[in-house]
Structure 1
Amino acid sequence: MRKLLLTPMALGAALAAVPAAAQAQTAESVPHSGLRAEALVGYDALTSGEDSDGVAYGGAVGYDAAVGGITLGAEGEYTQSSIKGEEGNLLVSGDSARVTLGRDLYVGGRVGLPVSPATLVYGKAGYTNARINTRYTAGATTVRDKANADGLRLGAGVEQKIGSQSYVKAEYRYSNYKEIEDFDIDADRHQLMAGVGIRF
């Protein structure tokens, strides 16, 4: 009689544990999904007539979803750059012109391939809008201006899970800018970025 009572109880407990186990397994098998936020820093190089380099830094937010064995994501990013250049004696003796890169806005998507439960290899593409600040000084006169450059960004990287919700990443991206405020240009930008993030 005791066996007859214990058997249904044990069976009920086992059935109750199945959904929880399945949920834990699903979460473990798709760790590269969900809402995320990250901090970024890295090497920044701009080529447009002459080469300039510096440091890029900022942050990004994104959302990833597991679809048929791959990871599809969307992301937005805000960064700043330390790149600047200055020349003198351009129009008159003693004058100077300074150009600095300002904020950079990026929106795009990415496709990732989980090569292990903790490692994601991905490619990305999207739109970038970079701010260019200029300052021209001649004697006591200083003129400041700013313009926006529209471009396309392509990139690839590796994301590595380091905790239940945290991760680190390394990424290379290439941006090309063809236009500044309706003026045609051809500027290339290469960046090597490192990031640390958290998933919610």
Structure 2
Amino acid sequence: MSAFASTPAAAADLAGPRVEAHVGWERVRVPGPERDFKTKKADLLFGLGLGYDLALGKGVNAGLEVNLERSRAEADIEEGGTRLNTEFKRDADVSARVGAVVAPGVLLYGKVGYANARVRQTLTVTGTAGTTTSKDTRDLSGVRAGAGVEMSIGQGVYAKAEYRFSDYEKDVRRHQIVTGVGVRF
């Protein structure tokens, strides 16, 4: 009975404005002319997040968040004398999230929102006339969905782990696993 009585108080403890720092792992799939290609290896990302959560009652929280990360993901495809290098520079999202307090200080949540990635591509073509290189930087828009767990680790301090999937235009897809530490005010 006491565990159920503490759930509303725990939900209120997991509400309010928050700021967090996070680091994570990501893998990106980029469509190519002949086949899809993925980042050379799993790459790191790091960034900051801001959010605000409301305790809706009965152990349910809802909120909004904004995240901005620096990505190090890079993918290459080479066919014949043509090489396409794609670098992912920035990753940003604005998401809504809804969660349930499953134990005192522990929030399980899902999120969905808008994602935007800054991508720089370098195309190098080598032929009999020599080598030509062209560069293009663009933003890709898409949808992000994810799920995670957040746990209080001290007075106003929490740790989190989250999985994110982003589906951008031009059939670019990104998988991320992010961990972080934050502070609620």
The secondary structure found in structure 2 opposite 1:30 is helix
Q: Match for residue 81 of structure 1?
A: 71
Post-superposition shift, 1:127? 0.4
Q: Match for residue 45 of structure 1?
A: 27
Q: Matched residue pairs, number?
A: 166
| Alignment check: 8 A CA contact 1:30 1:117 kept | no
Q: Match for residue 188 of structure 1?
A: 173
Post-superposition shift, 1:153? 0.7
Identify the structure with the greater helix proportion.
1
Q: Match for residue 54 of structure 2?
A: 65
Is 2:140 the partner of 1:158? no
| Alignment check: 8 A CA contact 1:78 1:106 kept | yes
**Length-normalised TM-score, structure 2:** 0.81
Structure 2 counterpart of 1:63, which letter? Y
Distance (Å, rounded) in 1 between the aligned partners of 2:79 and 2:163: 37
Post-superposition shift, 1:117? 2.1
Distance (Å, rounded) in 2 between the aligned partners of 1:187 and 1:134: 13
Match of 2:165 among 153, 167, 174: 174
Post-superposition shift, 1:80? 1.5
Is 2:117 the partner of 1:130? yes
Post-superposition shift, 1:85? 2.3
Structure 2 counterpart of 1:199, which letter? R
| Alignment check: 8 A CA contact 2:55 2:61 kept | yes
| Alignment check: 8 A CA contact 2:13 2:105 kept | yes
Structure 2 counterpart of 1:147, which letter? R
Which runs of 5 or more residues in structure 2 are unaligned?
A: 1-7, 31-35
Query: 1:146-188: CA deviations, max 9, x gaps?
Result: 11111111110000000111000000111111x2xxxxx2122
The secondary structure found in structure 2 opposite 1:107 is strand
| Alignment check: 8 A CA contact 2:26 2:176 kept | yes
Gap change, CA 1:98 and 1:29, over 3 Å in 2: closer
**Length-normalised TM-score, structure 1:** 0.76
| Alignment check: 8 A CA contact 2:37 2:77 kept | no
Post-superposition shift, 1:135? 2.2
Gap change, CA 1:96 and 1:51, over 3 Å in 2: closer
Distance (Å, rounded) in 1 between the aligned partners of 2:117 and 2:90: 6
Return the index of the structure with the highest Cα Rg.
1
Q: Match for residue 12 of structure 2?
A: 30
The secondary structure found in structure 2 opposite 1:162 is strand
Structure 2 counterpart of 1:162, which letter? I
Structure 1 counterpart of 2:136, which letter? D
Gap change, CA 1:88 and 1:188, over 3 Å in 2: closer
Which runs of 5 or more residues in structure 1 are unaligned?
A: 1-25, 180-184
Distance (Å, rounded) in 2 between the aligned partners of 1:105 and 1:149: 10
